[in-house]
Amino acid sequence: MDQSLKPLDVVYGSAVGIERQRVVLRNTYALLALSMVPTVLGAWLGVAFNFSFLAGNPAIGFVAFMAIAFAFFFGIEKFKNSGVGVMLLLGFTFFMGLMLSRLIGAVLGFSNGVQLISLAFGGTGLVFVGMATLASTMKRDVSTMGKWLMMGVVVLLVAGFANIWLQLPALMLTVSVLAVLIFSAFILYDLKRVIDGGETNYITATLAIYLDVYNVFQSLLSILGVVGGERD
C-alpha cells in the first residue's frame, strides 16, 4: 500500500512546490512594481531640489554610496521574513531614486531629454519582458551563470571607480554597454531562480531583480545621453 501511495505523494508534493513558486513569483512582481513608486518619487525630489551626493568628491561619494547600499542589503536580508524587510526595501528604492536624479537632471538638460528618458524606460521594459518570457519558457539550467555574472559586476565596479579619475567618455560608454548586457542576463538568472525554486523569499528576490532593472535603465539612459543628447 505504501508503494502504491508513493507516486501520489510525489505528485502532491510537486504540485505544492510549483504553487509555492508561483506565489513567490507573483509577490515578487507585485513588490517590484510597488518599489518603482518610491524610486520615481526619489528621482523627482532629487531633480526638483538639485540633489547632489558628494558631487565635489566622487571617490568619497562612491565609497559612501556603497556603504549605505550594503547597510540596506544587510537590513533587508535580516528582516526578509517580516514587514520590516518590505519597508527597508522601499526605503532603499527611494534612496536609489535620489541617486538616479543627477543623471536624470543631466539628461533633462538636453532638448530631447524627455524622449531619451522615455526611450530608456521603454527599452528597459522590453528587456524585462523578454527576459521574463525566456525565463518562464526555457528548460535549461542557468545556475552556473551566477558566478560569471558576478565577476562581470566586479569588473564594472572597478572600471567605473577608475574612471572617476580617468574621465574617459569611451570607457564610460563601454561600461554602460557591458552593464546593459550583464544586468539583462541577471534578470534572466534571478527570475529563473524564483521560477525553479532556488529563491523562495519574495523580498530577497525583489531586491535582486530591482537592482537588475535599475542598472539596465541607468545604463541605457547613460548611453542615450552620450550618443543621442541634443542641445538647443
pLDDT at 108: 93
* Tally of residues, the chain: 232
Q: Across residues 198-219, what is the average pLDDT?
A: 95
Q: Across residues 138-151, what is the average pLDDT?
A: 88
Domain that holds residue 7: 2-228
Question: Do 99 and 38 meet the contact criterion of CB atoms below 8 Å apart?
Answer: no
Is 85's pLDDT higher than 80? yes
Coil, strand or helix: which one is 201? Answer: coil
Is 148's pLDDT higher than 80? yes
Q: What are phi and psi of 186, to 5 degrees?
A: -65, -35
pLDDT at 16: 65
CA distance linking residue 42 with residue 48, whole number of Å: 10
Q: Which residue has the cell 559586476?
A: 153
Question: Do 51 and 169 meet the contact criterion of CB atoms below 8 Å apart?
Answer: no
CA distance linking residue 116 with residue 217, whole number of Å: 11
Selection from 32, 14, 5 nearest residue 131 by Cα: 32
DSSP category for residue 144 = T
Q: What's the pLDDT band for 83 if we cut at 50, 70, 90?
A: very high
DSSP category for residue 133 = H
Q: What's the pLDDT band for 163 if we cut at 50, 70, 90?
A: confident
Q: Based on the structure, what is the number of domains in the chain?
A: 1
Question: Do 226 and 172 meet the contact criterion of CB atoms below 8 Å apart?
Answer: yes
Q: Across residues 137-163, what is the average pLDDT?
A: 90
pLDDT at 132: 95
What crossing angle do the helices spanning 83-108 and 2-48 adopt, rounded to 10°?
40
CA distance linking residue 96 with residue 90, whole number of Å: 10
Is 179's pLDDT higher than 60? yes
Is 12's pLDDT higher than 60? no
Helices marked H in the chain: 2-48, 58-78, 83-108, 113-137, 145-166, 169-195, 202-228
Distances (CA, A) of 51 to 25, 48, 114, 131, 160: 35, 8, 19, 33, 21
Distances (CA, A) of 164 to 107, 182, 231: 19, 21, 25
pLDDT at 17: 65
